[in-house]
Amino acid sequence: NWEDLVKFLQMARKKARESYVETELIFALAKTNRLSELEEFISGPNNAHIQQVGDRCYEEGMYEAAKLLYNNVSNFARLASTLVHLGEYQAAVDSGRKANSTRTWKEVCFACVDGKEFRLAQICGLHIVIHADELEELISYYQDRGYFEELIALLEAALGLERAHMGMFTELAILYSKFKPQKMREHLELFWSRVNIPKVLRAAEQAHLWAELVFLYDKYEEYDNAIITMMNHPTDAWKEGQFKDIIAKVSNYFPAVLKTTSNYFSTRSHLIFIPFVFCCAAHSIEWQQLLLVKPYLRSVQNHNNKGVNEALNNLLTEEEDYQGLRASIDAYDNFDNITLAQRLEKHELIEFRRIAAYLYKGNNRWKQSVELCKKDRLYKDAMQYAAESKDAELAEKLLQWFLEEGKQECFAAC
């Protein structure tokens, strides 16, 4: 009987002020709900282990008594926990502020969320989100209970904090992509440099926010993906000015130009001044696909752009149009002559090997040019190039070769 125990301990205290007697007396007062007597006792001189009794009261759910005891010893962390159980959320926040520990802030915050005291929860949350390793748990707690609006409001309020970090900006962007897509673009334009772009890219793609995806690819310098996204989702992501800005930075954008000219051929005049640097990749494109842009390449070749010239020359080679190729290289000289010559000298058609010899000649590689002509029995070309070289030794070797081959008429012509 706790009432009898209180009387016994009070009598024992009069005879001996032992610590264990006073400690048990405090607990007995708590068990009998004599809170006013308890408060008076601990306010005066005593030798009791008040913290210990407070913990015992807390564990047994005697929160009013625990509140008095923790307040007496200024244990604000435990006091905040106790106040949460009592539903005194404002007081719990005040105690949490005094305790100033992340663990306490989390406990009070989650309790306020459960109690739908979102204003107080936000006060606590602002002390939690600044710790990157605590952010995920906080977000999950809100999301699992469906409080998306309140979570977004919390993170928006936190962006102005001195200790705001990348995780906060990133998670807010992801939340926008899921629940407020109309706000995502503005957020990215303001804070793209402070978000984890790969994570936000995945979120934007999952949410089918194609314009935002293009924006992020551009900032992340994945220009190829930006162009491909614009091409695949023109209704949402196509902006001609943005396309021209990005495509100028792409390292391998031939497929994008290919699709642009087939789908948006009416705008081709605006693309004339794009630096066509895709020539290095053109040989890997199926020549049947290149046929789609052949008229376009011809229309802009007058700019004598290296990329355009090489793409068209490759196409003409694949088409086995040696006359068109010869006309192209005669009219427009801005291309890698030697690379094309080396490719053509292995061609199965003699007319292309003849062009290879012509290219070597044009680059003062007279010996290679003449040797290639000799190999293909192009006697007239061999004599012409040897004469143009003004190289006596080369001419003598050609004459000797004619004699060895029994080509007296060629020898005589030389």
pLDDT of 269 higher than 50: no
pLDDT at position 256? 52
Spatial contact of 243 and 227, defined as CB atoms under 8 Å apart: yes
pLDDT at position 292? 63
Mean pLDDT of 123-133: 96
3-class SS of residue 161: coil
pLDDT of 266 higher than 60: no
Domain boundaries, the chain: 251-335, 338-414
Mean pLDDT of 212-222: 95
pLDDT of 253 higher than 60: no
d(CA 198, CA 209) in angstroms, rounded, equals 15
pLDDT at position 291? 65
d(CA 227, CA 260) in angstroms, rounded, equals 10
pLDDT of 134 higher than 70: yes
pLDDT confidence tier of residue 177, bands split at 50, 70 and 90: very high
Quick count: other Cβ atoms within 10 Å of Cβ 339? 13
pLDDT of 287 higher than 70: no
pLDDT confidence tier of residue 400, bands split at 50, 70 and 90: confident
pLDDT at position 284? 46
Distances (CA, A) of 314 to 28, 261, 272, 278, 327: 97, 18, 20, 12, 13
Quick count: other Cβ atoms within 10 Å of Cβ 408? 10
pLDDT of 82 higher than 70: yes
For 48, which DSSP code?
-
pLDDT of 263 higher than 70: no
What one-letter code names the amino acid at 319? E
Distances (CA, A) of 411 to 384, 396, 405: 13, 10, 10
pLDDT of 262 higher than 60: no
pLDDT confidence tier of residue 163, bands split at 50, 70 and 90: very high
d(CA 186, CA 389) in angstroms, rounded, equals 67
Helix (H) or strand (E) holding 174: helix 166-179
Q: What is the pLDDT of residues 361-374, one digit of tens each?
A: 888 898 888 888 88
Lowest mean pLDDT among 115-119, 136-140, 296-300, 390-394: 296-300
Percent of the chain with pLDDT strictly greater than 90 = 52
Mean pLDDT of 44-59: 89
Which of 22, 14, 72, 17 is closest to 43 using CA atoms?
72
Considering only residues 3 and 83, tell me which one the structure prediction assigns the higher pLDDT.
83
pLDDT at position 410? 62
Mean pLDDT of all residues belonging to the chain: 85
Mean pLDDT of 238-248: 81
pLDDT confidence tier of residue 259, bands split at 50, 70 and 90: low
What one-letter code names the amino acid at 116? K
pLDDT at position 268? 43
pLDDT at position 272? 40
pLDDT of 280 higher than 60: no
Lowest mean pLDDT among 215-229, 271-285, 336-350, 353-367: 271-285
Mean pLDDT of 393-414: 73
Which ranges of 16-101 does DSSP label H, i.e. alpha helix? Answer: 19-31, 35-43, 50-59, 63-72, 76-86, 89-99
pLDDT confidence tier of residue 40, bands split at 50, 70 and 90: confident
Radius of gyration over alpha carbons of the chain, in Å?
Answer: 42
